[in-house]
């Protein structure tokens, strides 16, 4: 789709809302309705409605003393998430490449969204005719993927209950759909420092993942090795791949400011 074609889908009210936010990119810390109306060439009533909507969502806040408006906390949170994600990928790239070269399997970094784990970047082996390519940008379930379990294992039991649906979806014959059995496995993941998926989401695909933490000590992502199940058997995972990905996860965590 060309840029011109995309402009046909622009929603005017959303564009105006973004115009309001962008007025604060300059030197002005606060702006009033009248000034914004002049800058945007919009009627004051329209500007007020835009500000009220943005204020309700936390992207704009009003200084009650001056009655002017300024950027809200949601803008800070949004910016921090962008910096975090870009920093995570940038710091992960050389580690992904190095681990992929060592183990000759696909290695990727992921984050967790509200409803699943999302692979962000992958390094693939150059000398494998058969290899696994993780679905970059696709939301994968938490309960039956190594990357998902690497996150869940370090949540509280209350957080796990709130995150997972009551009925766990079965994707293959190996998918764990019993919540008690899953929680027991997650306790082992927290103890061992890595999670394994042996054909639980994609048949004949296995993976092993380790958590990544940042300077707040929170789990902010995971690193994983994925490959055909016939190459990623239990013995190779425990003897070679798990120690390798745990060490890589620790290195990336240190690059993000985590101190053990």
Mean pLDDT confidence for 240-248? 96
Q: How far apart are CA 99 and CA 222, in angstroms?
A: 14
CA distances (Å), origin 155, targets 34, 152, 158, 190, 218: 48, 5, 8, 9, 10
Q: How far apart are CA 156 and CA 145, in angstroms?
A: 19
Q: C-alpha dihedral over 128, 228, 236, 127, to 10 degrees?
A: 0
Mean pLDDT confidence for 41-70? 92
Strand partners, 207: 197, 226
List, for residues 174-201, the tens digit of each pLDDT value: 999 998 899 999 999 999 999 999 999 9
> In the 8-state DSSP scheme, what is residue 219?
E
pLDDT at site 226? 95
What residues does CATH 1.10.10.10 cover in the chain?
A: 3-71
Q: Which fold has domain 79-255?
A: Beta-Lactamase (3.30.450)
Least confident of 33-37, 73-77, 101-105: 73-77
What residues does CATH 3.30.450.40 cover in the chain?
A: 79-255
CATH of domain 3-71: 1.10.10.10
Taking the complete model, does pTM exceed 0.85, yes or no? no
């Amino acid at each position: 789709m060309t840029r011109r074609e995309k402009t046909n889908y622009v929603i005017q009210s959303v564009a105006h809302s973004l115009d309001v936010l962008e007025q604060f990119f300059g030197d002005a810390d606060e702006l009033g309705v009248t000034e914004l109306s002049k800058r945007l060439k919009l009627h004051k009533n329209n500007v007020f409605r835009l500000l009220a909507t943005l204020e309700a969502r936390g992207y704009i806040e009003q200084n009650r003393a001056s009655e002017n408006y300024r950027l809200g906390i949601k803008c800070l949170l949004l910016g921090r998430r962008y910096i975090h994600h870009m920093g995570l990928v940038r710091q992960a790239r050389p580690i992904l490449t190095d681990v992929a070269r060592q183990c000759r399997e696909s290695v990727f970094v992921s984050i967790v969204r509200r409803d699943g784990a999302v692979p962000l970047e992958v390094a693939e082996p150059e000398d494998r005719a058969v290899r696994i390519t993780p679905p970059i940008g696709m939301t994968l379930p938490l309960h039956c993927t190594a990357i998902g379990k690497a996150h869940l294992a370090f949540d509280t039991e209350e957080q796990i209950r709130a995150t997972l649906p009551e009925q766990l979806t079965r994707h293959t014959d190996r998918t764990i759909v019993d919540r008690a059995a899953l929680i027991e496995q997650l306790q082992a993941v927290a103890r061992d420092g890595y999670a394994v998926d042996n054909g639980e989401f994609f048949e004949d695909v296995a993976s092993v993942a380790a958590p990544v933490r940042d300077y707040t000590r929170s789990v902010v992502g995971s690193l994983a090795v994925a490959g055909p199940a016939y190459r990623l058997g239990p013995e190779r995972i425990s003897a070679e791949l798990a120690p390798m990905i745990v060490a890589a996860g620790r290195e990336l965590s240190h690059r993000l400011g985590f101190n053990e």
